[in-house]
Amino acid sequence: MNEFKDKTGIITGATSGIGENIAQNLGKKGANLILSGRNKIAGEKLLHQFEETQSHFVAGDIKQPETNKKLVETAIENYGRLDFLVLSAGQLGIGRLADLSLEEWHDTIATNLNAVFYLLKYAIPEMQKNGGGNIVIIGSVAASHAFPNHPAYTATKGALPPLVRQLAKDYGPEFRINLVSPAQVETPLLFHSVKAFENADEILEETANKLPMHRLGIPQDISNMVLFLLSQEASWITGSNFNVDGGFLAT
């Protein structure tokens, strides 16, 4: 039996990279999805991959509380319930700390941390009406490892592991809440990230060769962990951080 069929979930950052791949995999398993992204054209293109009544796209900036509230309202209006969340949107904020503009610093915090708060604040009460649910947040190995010229990114990702532990304590056993922390995965975000290095053209190949698995990650590597954590096979797992990193943190 497919346990995701007729379950309803919200996926942020769904129009590219890891978020898009997670959406595709959950859609194939029959989940009803509320998809979030800023690019309306990309969102409409994504909708064509699902059955007509299976998904809805909400265009908007998750830095705004109203966008997150609209995601939850869309789930309830169309499906009457909300079962899971996958928070996948992210922003890099590249630059040495003294060189970062105030706007870039605040935007990175707003995207990577404030938006997590907003969605959880609006979603948790609705999920409680149906006995709770399952939440997976996409973090980063940057919570445990410094990267050149990524101060805003590492600061925001570093806040997520303790937040997830706190939420697991406060909302168990109704909710299971976990964090998945990728290393270098082949996504548009990664290709933008390497611009922080002087040898951007060479760094990806060098990174892959240094990893114990001798390759960069692909979005499916992360999706596999997310779908496992959303499933009943992970029914005794909460408050945990899973580094899906090809062995990066072992180097």
Write out pLDDT tens, residues 64-74: 999 999 999 99
Catalytic residue among 79, 118, 153, 171: 153
Domain layout of the chain by residue ranges = 8-243
Mean pLDDT of 238-244: 98
Longest CA span, the chain: 54
The vertex-109 CA angle with 178 and 115, nearest 5°, equals 55
Give tens-digit pLDDT for 179-214. 999 999 998 777 777 766 667 668 788 889 999 999
SS3 content of the chain, % helix, strand, coil (to 5): 50, 15, 35
Nearest Cα to Cα of residue 29 among 52, 53, 50: 50
pTM to 2 decimal places: 0.95
- Is residue 171 part of the annotated active site? The answer reads no
Task: DSSP for 185-203, please give it.
Answer: BSSHHHHHHGGGSTTHHHH
Q: What is the pLDDT of residue 195?
A: 66
Two structure tokens written together for 72? 């939850």
Quick check: bond before 212 cis, omega within 30? no
User: What share of the chain in percent tops pLDDT 90?
Assistant: 84
Please list the alpha-helical segments (H only) found in the chain: 17-28, 40-47, 65-79, 102-109, 115-128, 151-158, 160-171, 188-193, 200-210, 219-230
The CATH architecture to which 8-243 belongs is 3-Layer(aba) Sandwich (3.40)
Helix (H) or strand (E) holding 85: strand 84-87
User: How high is the mean pLDDT of the chain?
Assistant: 94
What's the one-letter identity of residue 87? L
For 150-171, the pLDDT digits (tens) are 999 999 999 999 999 999 999 9
Sign (positive or negative) of CA dihedral 163, 165, 170, 176: positive
